[in-house]
Amino acid sequence: MARADKQAAVAEIADEFSASVGAVLTEYRGLTVKELKDLRRSLGANADYAVVKNTLAKIAAKNSGIDGFDDLLTGPTAIAFIKGDVVETAKGLRDFAKANPNLVIKGGVYEGKTLDAAEVAKLADLESREVLLAKLAGAMTASLSQALYVFNALPQKAAQLAAALQEKAANDPTILAGGAGTPAAAEEAATEAPADVEAPAAEAEVAEEAAPEAAAEETTEA
């Protein structure tokens, strides 16, 4: 391969690393052309699966700031450059490898961290983004349903409270008067008030009766 072609190939692989959220390195020795096509089809839009030369991939990885790939880049290598869901891509590769043992997952990189084969397998065991979103949507729907139930129950609760208050008021009218005992106190005050008003009049009558007697006594003495 000419020097210019190598540089172009390195730049292309480096661009793939930069444009991807992660990558999984595999060995495809023994896979047929049809099986490779089936693998690409199974990964769908989540990843671009490309065969690479190890020497060029090493340079491209270093140019992209990725370390720890040298030991993984041995034998016939193809890289799944992940564009979509990392978990879905890991699941797709794992499931394909189970059905086609010639596909060997060697490791990968995710968020700048180099992964070994076991760590890629752990990614495949996680729940996918779609599943997590579905669970989140379900939880939100349940919360909204509970809130709607509470809001719908409020008028009924208010009606029950009003009915209970009316029933108590029928048995004890003082409840609606602002507290037990208030009307009774008002009645007592109303009953006692006239006595206080009539007292000065009674005293005036006694004074009038006493006035002639006092005048008579004064005349006798004179």
- pLDDT for position 102: 95
Beta-carbon count within 10 A of 16 CB: 19
Res. 222: pLDDT tops 70 = no
Q: Is the pTM of this model over 0.75?
A: no
79 and 18 together in one domain:
yes
142 and 192 together in one domain:
no
134 and 118 together in one domain:
no
140 and 77 together in one domain:
no
Note down the domain range covering 209: 186-222
Mean pLDDT (whole number) for 137-158: 61
CATH number at residue 39: 3.30.70.1730
Sequence-ordered strand ranges (E) for 33-120: 47-52, 77-82, 104-110, 113-116
Look at 90 and 159; give whichever has higher pLDDT.
90
Give me the number of domains the chain comprises.
3
109 and 163 together in one domain:
no
Q: Categorize the per-residue pLDDT at 167 as very low, low, confident or very high, splitting at 50, 70 and 90.
A: confident
What is the DSSP-derived secondary structure letter of residue 4? H
Contact residues for 52 (Cβ-Cβ < 8 A; gap 6+): 13, 77, 78, 79
Task: Report pLDDT digits (tens) over 107-135.
Answer: 999 988 899 999 999 999 997 555 544 54
Task: Report pLDDT digits (tens) over 51-84.
Answer: 999 999 999 999 998 988 888 899 999 999 999 9
Q: What single letter denotes the amino acid at residue 174?
A: T
- pLDDT for position 26: 96
196 and 165 together in one domain:
no
Residue 23 inside a domain? The answer is: yes
107 and 205 together in one domain:
no
Look at 169 and 215; give whichever has higher pLDDT.
169
38 and 85 together in one domain:
yes
